[in-house]
A and B are shown apart, each in its own frame.
Chain A
């Protein structure tokens, strides 16, 4: 596997940033991001991630229990997929986290209660099924009916592109299941162009999402992936984080803790994309 050093450095950065204690209010979110990143990196066999996952998962579990007791943890302000994967990661480390278990239970109850599943929840439902939180849901047809793409996707605004990436993830169960060839074609001709231009525009989060989507669609050994990989690696700083954001930070982005609020999510996103495209057989969750 290529890029072990780069993934290792990113995993170290993520752990270092989420571990520091100077901002307790925000720590559950950042600790969960770290659990998510280490879980992925451990699946790719990154030694630091394998060695640190249990400790980070335990610390995240405690932080979450504490936040839940004092009422500062609202799971509905989180991406449900992050919480579900973190619950799985923590359980694998022997950490049972009551607030996450309660959230998963609530989510299953709500989904089983509604008549039609909103498309935006398709990815969440796929995860719930894959993680055995609920039985296969006959209502979740949204997962399998990824609409074919046309060239007009090239002109789609960023929120639509994020939505498309989510739909591809849901439809393919995060790469665990194949997407029909007829559906893939339009995406495989347009998404590589979108990937290259979004990276050029320095939208690294969207770039990472598109990169993962291409992997879920089965793209392999394409020059566009090599170009993206080459570009992304040039955006990694010496301390392992991804992104050079001094310009945005000096031009008015007022963040209390840029490492946590800006570099951490970007680095987690990039690490996730690198694990997916660099690790043969890597999957967020097994089918």
Chain B
């Protein structure tokens, strides 16, 4: 956790969608992911690296108040979710008044096609989760109804599950359980038990594959489901072993030889691109575990 947060703090510029003056390739997504991390830190029962979280909030606030950023969802409503996540983090930190955005966002949600069922079910669930976090009124179906339409509600053979589909499963669990901050909503006992088994199998498979990104996501899923899951301790051990001395946890496209020596990186920017998500998800999973253990007494 310490190493991952330290690395993120040293590479905050990467999360700025306008760091080179123009919108970056990944657009607002890394910034929204940073907002999710900040929200988890703010909601965690233990304070960890307050100064790092304050610097992350500074970036969120600075970016949010750039008109070119703030106006984007009103011109392109499909970009609303990442914006709402940033607003929710700022509001939670007391850096943004809900009056500053909620009414206009509610109008946009009502008037646009965002809530029309043209989005895949897991995307609708993501939208609902973001709007709920920001306290934005909407008419989206219940979590239960949305969940039942997702891939995660189906009996699936894990061998056939692609990586993209594994991410859909993990994200549906994140939205239902508010990233571990509540028991999964809209998921009945039978589905929760089935998902626990699926998460355990996928965790075992991605440990075999050495994919630390999905490993960290699945560790977080295990926390979200609040059920015992094999391989979690071993997964943490593997992630810790893979973590570099500079705190980065290499992603699936990282280079093993260069990963051992960050000084020798020939392309620092692409290295950050490869590592940022895995490092961030690792920190997110660690926050959920710290929160969980301090509130439930589990180690």
Give chain A's interface residues, CB within 8 Å of chain B: 151-152, 154-155, 189-190, 192-194, 196-201, 223-224, 227-228, 230-231
Contacts and interface: CB of A to CB of B under 8 A. Distances in A.
A231 B207 contact: no
Contacts of B159: 196, 199-200, 227-228, 230-231
Given A151-B231, A152-B234, A154-B234, A193 B157 contact: no
A155 B208 contact: yes
A-B CB proximity, top 7 nearest: A193-B204, A197-B208, A151-B234, A197-B205, A231-B159, A154-B207, A227-B157
A214 to B, nearest CB: 14
Contacts of B238: 155
A175 B201 CA distance: 25
B121 interface: no
B183 interface: no
Interface in B223-242: 230-231, 234, 238
Contacts of B158: 196, 227
Interface hub of A193, A200, A224 (most chain B Cβ within 10 A): A193
Given A228-B159, A230-B157, A194 B208 contact: yes
Interface of B: 157-160, 197, 201, 204-210, 230-231, 234, 238
7 contacts: A154-B231, A155-B208, A194-B204, A196-B204, A196-B205, A197-B205, A227-B159
B157 A200 contact: no
Nearest to A232: B159
A119 B100 CA distance: 72
Contact of B201 (A155, A193, A201): A193
A242 to B, nearest CB: 15
A224 B160 CA distance: 12
Contacts of A230: 157, 159
Contacts of A200: 159, 205, 209
A230 B155 CA distance: 14
A224 B201 CA distance: 9
B230 A155 contact: no
Contact of B207 (A155, A192, A223): A155
Nearest to B208: A197
Interface hub of B160, B201, B206, B208 (most chain A Cβ within 10 A): B208
B145 to A, nearest CB: 28
Nearest to A199: B159
Contacts of B231: 151, 154, 193
B281 to A, nearest CB: 20
B157 A190 contact: no
Contacts of B160: 231
Contact of B204 (A152, A190, A199): A190
A151 B158 CA distance: 19
A190 B203 CA distance: 11
Contacts of A194: 204, 208
A224 B208 CA distance: 15
B157 A154 contact: no
Nearest to B234: A151
B38 to A, nearest CB: 33
Contacts of B210: 155
Contacts of B209: 197, 200-201
B256 to A, nearest CB: 13
